[in-house]
Structure formats: C-alpha cells, structure tokens
Amino acid sequence: TSKDEFSASLRDNLIAMQQVRAEYVEISMTDTDGIVVVGTNTGRQGKSALSADAKSRVVLSDGVSSFDIFLHPESRRPVMVFGHVMRTPGEGVGQEAGKIIGEVITVVDLENTIYRFLGPISELGETAEALLVRIDEENILFLSQLLFQENAPLQLTVGANSAIADVARGAEMGTT
C-alpha cells in the first residue's frame, strides 16, 4: 500500500542520515504517546522509543525541543537523547503550525561527540577537565567522563554535601 511504501521510504531516509552521521545511534519518529511509528531500529516499531526513565525526562512539550543524557539500554554507553516536536502544517502561509502529532527522537553517542571536547584540557594543565552533572536536592550525578574515575558517566553519584559538591554545582552553573 502507499502508506507502507511511504514508511519504507522514510525509514530509508532515516537510515541514510544515520549512515552519514556515525554518532547517531538511532533515529525514530513517534506518535504523541512516544510509540515508534518508523525508525532506524525496526525492532522498536510499535514500541516505546525510550525507556521509562528516559521518557519521564524527555517529554513532548508545546513546541520546545528537549534532551537529556542516559545510559543506552542495550550498549550501556552514555547517549544524549534529543526530542523534536512534529506538528501538522499551519492553515496558511506564515501561520503558526497546528497540533502536535508526534516527535522525532534522535539518540547520539556521547563518546563520539561531546566527550571529546570535555577533557583533558591541556591548555589548562594535566588535570583540567570539564564536567557535565545533574543535580537534585540530595545527589549529584556525573554525566561526563572523569579523568581519574573510570565508569563515572551516569554511574557515579555523590551526596549534595560532599567535598566535590561545590565543584559540581559550579559546573552546573558554568562557574567552574
């Protein structure tokens, strides 16, 4: 049918985009419930694009893109998940787009992208590094690799009152 042909063509285009950008782990187009309609991972079609943990933080929002960092469920590697809202076309030229119909979810491997820029920063000395952290009221979760702590991304958590907490808070605010 024409719907199946269109889906196959769309999947081929998404796969071609993924092949050009090796850091793209997965690209999916979902409905408003986050269920994959078409994507590069055919095993996810008809299923949720994100784990329950990821889904709670990367949600459809009214016209706003969203993102967060997670451990990929299969590879256990740190990834950044981007969500971009899809809308129906506006009624006329220059008019605002219509209702939300779904989302494009892009999963990007951090080890092949952002982590390359975080450290070490040789211009600032042997131990200089940039930090990505997620802070809540009780804990600080390290999102990035650390020079002197293996397996830190998304696994190393410290208490909000620990000695490193001030450095992590500074990293979150961009002051360290």
Tell me the whole-structure pTM to 2 decimals: 0.73
Task: Determine the 3-state secondary structure of 53 from DSSP.
Answer: helix
The Cα 168–Cα 140 span in angstroms is: 7
pLDDT given at position 56: 47
AA identity, residue 4: D
Residues of the chain with pLDDT under 50: 56, 60
DSSP state letters, 100-111: EEEEEEEEEEST
User: What pLDDT is recorded for position 94?
Assistant: 61
State yes or no: cis peptide before 120, omega within 30 of 0. yes
Helix (H) or strand (E) holding 39: strand 36-39
Residue with structure tokens 């929002």?
A: 61
Tell me the pLDDT tens digit for each residue of 54-90. Answer: 554 555 455 556 677 888 878 888 888 888 888 887 6
- Which residues lie below 8 Å from residue 35, measured CB to CB, with a gap of 6+? 46, 47, 48, 49
The first and second tokens of residue 30, run together, are: 């979902």
Asked whether the bond before 73 is cis by omega within 30 degrees of 0, the reply is: no
